[in-house]
Structure 1
Amino acid sequence: MKVPGSVFLVGPMGAGKSTIGRQLARSLGKTFVDSDREIEARTGVDIPLIFELEGEEGFRDREQDVIAELSSRPDIVLATGGGAVLREANRHHLGGRGTVIYLKTSVDQQLARTAHDRKRPLLQTEDPRARLEALMQVREPLYREISDLVVETDGCTVKDVVRRIIRRLERQPGVGPAHV
């Protein structure tokens, strides 16, 4: 299936944006890009080091520049970082330049998926659950604000989520085989 335009994935860490995005791009015949990996490639260092040297604000500045550029590319599937929606400029670019899909997942699922991941600077805390709950309280309304579709990922395989996304995209006005 060919879906016109770009697809942008938003949601919390551990929702599966990168893994699902890669498979979704393959299924839609689009190029996959991960904004966090793009930042690492451009800086030559990993995100935890950027946080350590520049703080979260410095990282968010870099992220904003990358999202402004990537979201203007045609026919991509873009996996964004969990906090990308915090900046109004990012929400504007994503919401105005493609189809935004919120990959929704529970805090329990996030904890299970990120338990052994030491590359998540915001989770390097005594109480990761409390941190994830606090992040969701702030970010959930922003994810919903810009999303065209909300897709639950808890307990689902990547293949199932991709299939559900494609089915929902086919039902979106202006999308699908009749409009290609």
Structure 2
Amino acid sequence: MKIFLIGPMGSGKSKIGKILSEKLGVSLFDIDKEIEKDLNMPITEMFASKGEEFFRTTETNYLIKTKKFNDCIISTGGGVVEKIKNLELLANETNVVFLNCSVESQFENTKDSKKRPLLQTSDPKLTLQTLYEKRLDSYKKVSKLELLSDSMSNEEIANKIINHFNV
């Protein structure tokens, strides 16, 4: 079984993905980390030197790669829903989980990170709010399960996902 985790940055996709992969004994494919590893470049540097569009296109190519995967957890980047092609790919998947959380939680979980290029602004909380509002409908449209990640522990969320999909 393949499970996709989508949601805003700071919602816990990578951490919950790791817990799920350990509990289910399947691999974790963290798209952002795979891109960084394969291109040997941090995403912040990619945004700075090649631009956001280059990153988004690369992200789409990695999402396409997941079509051939069977049993794994796929953690996406927060902006995966920015491209129509990605929405189409995710809409065709059976197990897509939207990890929703408040902008305040997003901010608390990301405020000390220098690895988030879209937050290198004078007002990162406003940026998070703007991105959340822009992407919310898309997250909801392609997900089969929505969980509020700031109202439960990561362990509880992983268990809810496992129970929901009977895995």
Please give the TM-score of this superposition, normalised by the length of structure 1: 0.89
CA contact under 8 A between 2:94 and 2:144: conserved in structure 1?
no
1:59-88 deviations in Å (ceiling 9; x for gaps):
101111111112431111000000001111
State the distance in 2 between where 1:97 and 1:38 align. 20
Please give the TM-score of this superposition, normalised by the length of structure 2: 0.95
Aligned residue in 1 for 2:61: 65
- Matched residue pairs, number? 167
Aligned residue in 2 for 1:173: none
Aligned residue in 1 for 2:136: 140
State the distance in 1 between where 2:84 and 2:20 align. 26
2:97 counterpart of 1:127: no
Residue 83 of structure 1, aligned match among 79, 85, 91: 79
State the distance in 1 between where 2:67 and 2:51 align. 24
**1:33-112 pair list within 5 angstroms:** 33-112=29-108
With over 3 angstroms needed to count, the CA separation of the structure-2 counterparts of 1:26 and 1:98, relative to structure 1, is farther
Q: Which runs of 5+ in 1 are unaligned?
A: 171-175
State the distance in 2 between where 1:71 and 1:19 align. 22
Work out which of the two has the higher radius of gyration on C-alpha atoms and give 1 or 2: 1
- State the identity as a percent: 35
CA contact under 8 A between 1:71 and 1:94: conserved in structure 2?
no
Residue 165 of structure 1, aligned match among 145, 161, 164: 161
Q: Counterpart amino acid of 1:123?
A: L
CA contact under 8 A between 1:30 and 1:77: conserved in structure 2?
yes
Q: Counterpart amino acid of 1:150?
A: E
Aligned residue in 2 for 1:20: 16
Aligned residue in 2 for 1:149: 145
Q: Counterpart amino acid of 1:46?
A: P
Q: Considering only aligned residues, what root-mean-square deviation do their CA atoms show, in Å?
A: 1.2
Give 4+ residue runs of structure 1 displaced > 3 Å after superposition: none
Give how far 1:156 is off. 2.2
Give how far 1:158 is off. 1.4
Q: Which runs of 5+ in 2 are unaligned?
A: none
SS in 1 for 2:69: coil
CA contact under 8 A between 1:10 and 1:81: conserved in structure 2?
yes
State the distance in 1 between where 2:68 and 2:135 align. 23
